[in-house]
Amino acid sequence: MKIVIVGERNGKAVVRWPQFLVLALVLSLVIGIGIGAVFYLLAGQWSHISTLVGIVIGAGIAGLGLIQGLRTAPGKQPPL
């Protein structure tokens, strides 16, 4: 199953904002908690900074996916 965040409607790129925001939130939380858990296993203490870094990395990955979708040529985007 492919998640479509940016598609084409009436010849223009359209962003599905609710789906993008949910995807960014879930991705950020999963990566943030994952990095925090790895730090906890290695260091023996929970680090809020490492969790925050993971959340920022997740948001960055989602943002890069949005930018890549918007840069795709209009004819190659999936129809909405």
Enter the pTM of the model. 0.82
**Distances from the Cα of 29 to the Cαs of 52, 70, 72, in angstroms?**
9, 24, 27
- Map out the domains of the chain as residue ranges: 6-75
78 pLDDT band, cuts 50/70/90, is confident
pLDDT digits (tens, 9 = 90+) for 3-28: 888 989 888 889 999 999 999 999 99
pLDDT digits (tens, 9 = 90+) for 23-69: 999 999 999 999 999 999 999 998 899 999 999 999 999 999 999 98
Q: Which tops the pLDDT comparison, 75 or 27?
A: 27
